[in-house]
Structure 1
């Protein structure tokens, strides 16, 4: 019993869905919903169709680029905003 793999009960099978983020069109689900809602508010609410579509396409491309560079970008950025708010007393 030199390796930890030999001990019964030491390893646990982990399903892939527990370790991978939930994505919609390649970006995190929360970001996709927020971006789509904001673009729909501009497009439908203000009746600026082209601006809403352009905002969605540019925002989605930027989010897709950032998530491909670092999969944890959204979580790290949210943590940064919380810490910055605390330190700046805003």
Structure 2
């Protein structure tokens, strides 16, 4: 949900169900950096993902929570903290 809520742009928030076409790896931006292991089930891949469907009904975070997260991300940006992209 966070990715949909924090994405740039003015379009509708969307969440897709995807299938990997190659190996997945834990996303280092949350795994072990914030949470030991991978309890958030956050992954990334250098290979394409196949869209298998879309989640049509989902309940997002409150407007206050989204605003607080955006403020925290902006603070990190001002501090020079950048996402891990290796």
Normalised to the residue count of structure 2, the TM-score between the two structures is 0.27
Return the structure number with greater helix share: 1
Larger Rg: 1
Return the structure number with greater strand share: 2
Higher RCO (Cα < 8 Å, 6 or more apart)? 2
